[in-house]
Structures are given as C-alpha cells and as structure tokens.
Amino acid sequence: MSTPILSPLSFYKCLSDDTRLKALMLIYLEKELCVCDLITALELSQPKVSRHLADLRKCHILLDERRGKWVYYSVNPKLPEWAMKVLELTAHNTEAYLNDNITNLNMAKQSECCP
C-alpha cells in the first residue's frame, strides 16, 4: 500500500548520466525494451548497460521482468506523477539527443536479438 519513496535528488541523480538518461528515454518511448535492444541502441558493452539499468531499478524508476531468456525493462507505473511528467517532457524534447540511438534501435528490432 505504500507508494515507493523517490526523493527528487535520487531521481535526478539517475538522470544525470548519459547512459542512464538515454536508456530511460528509450524505454519510456518504447514502453519496454530488453537489455539486448539497449546494448545495440546505445552501442555499449553489456555490463555497462546492465549496471546502469540496475541503478534505475534500485531507485524504483524501472521495473524488470524476466520472460524466458530475456529481461525486459519498463517504467514503473507507480512513479510519482510529477516524475512521470518530467520523463514525458524530456522524452519529447530531446529528439536530437536521442536521434542516433533511435536509429540503432530500429535496426535492432529488425534483427534476431529477442522476440
């Protein structure tokens, strides 16, 4: 029954790293993504992506769900409304920042990573 406590400071600390911010924006825009999608979209090593996703998970911004071999990440719908709106504003005003990654992601979706 308790809503997860998310201090504004820990929220913004999560957004203050390039990998975390981009991963979060992509997941927000796509509703959910698996780790292999993000590795391709961000062009980063698997441990690096995984570590930053863990940060976002630990402060309850993201949820993870294993389905078979893959782990899917999505934005926690229980996020405070103000935080959700911040994500919305950011995602829709950072096209240039995300451009390359979205291109990579679309290519990833057409390949054979995850179903």
Partner DNA sequence: GATTGACATTCGAAAAAACATATATATGAT
Partner DNA sequence: ATCATATATATGTTTTTTCGAATGTCAATC
- Say if residues 73 and 62 touch (Cβ distance below 8 Å): yes
Query: From CA 92, how far away is CA 115, in angstroms rounded?
Result: 27
Among 90, 102, 109, 113, binds its own copies (CB under 8 A): 90
Helix (H, G, I), strand (E, B) or coil at 42: helix
Q: Which is nearer to its own copies, 58 or 82 (CB)?
A: 82
Query: From CA 71, how far away is CA 73, in angstroms rounded?
Result: 7
The H-or-E segment that residue 77 falls in is none
One character per residue 21-40, x = contact with its own copies (rule: CB under 8 A): x-------------------
Q: Which is nearer to its own copies, 7 or 110 (CB)?
A: 7
**Residues in Cβ contact with 15 at an 8 Å cutoff, skipping those fewer than 6 apart:** 21, 24, 90
**Residues in Cβ contact with 84 at an 8 Å cutoff, skipping those fewer than 6 apart:** 75
48 binds its own copies (CB under 8 A): no
Q: Which of residues 35-94 bind DNA (CB under 7 A)?
A: 35-36, 39, 44-55, 64, 66, 68-71
Q: Where along the sequence are the contacts to its own copies (CB under 8 A)?
A: 7-9, 12-13, 15-16, 18, 21, 80, 82, 85-86, 89-90, 92-94, 97
Q: Where along the sequence are the contacts to DNA (CB under 7 A)?
A: 13, 16-19, 34-36, 39, 44-55, 64, 66, 68-71, 113-114
